[in-house]
Amino acid sequence: ALTTAELVIVGLEADTKESATRMLAERMVAAGRVTEIEGYLEDVRLREAQMDTGLPGGIGIPHARSEFVTHPTVAIGTSARGVDFGAHDGPAHLIFLIGAPSGSDDAHLHILAALARKLVHEDFRQMLREADSPKVIADIIKKEVTL
């Protein structure tokens, strides 16, 4: 599965995109999907330096292909206060950290595209923002985001 309840943080308490990304990456490490956190975070930073990953509608999608990722994965955080990912319309309240293995051709782009197709819908974003448990969020993603 792309995500599981253990990869979801409801009420993410982070002030910066770096700390939000690190908290989500720690979940990926704990789940055995990232082998080395600093190496993976560096790959995410390099990607972020090319272009902001904030999308309109309160969404942040930091992502990277990395030799430190073992399996295509999405870790998810919801933030009431919001975290600045560079979107012109304000902070991200839904954060999706996407990791894909280096050799996985365009797996992360397929994940990004599948997520983006759903995230343009306000009712989908609302459902995720209002979900109060990691399991509910993981189930929504598993059901709605098909590759």
* Catalytic hit among 63, 71, 93, 110: 63
Angle between helical axes of 37-50 and 17-30 (0-180°, round to 10): 140
15 φ/ψ angles, rounded to the nearest 5 degrees: -100, -20
Return the CA Rg of the chain: 13
Q: Contact 81/24 with Cβ under 8 angstroms?
A: no
63 is catalytic: yes
Q: Which residues are catalytic?
A: 63
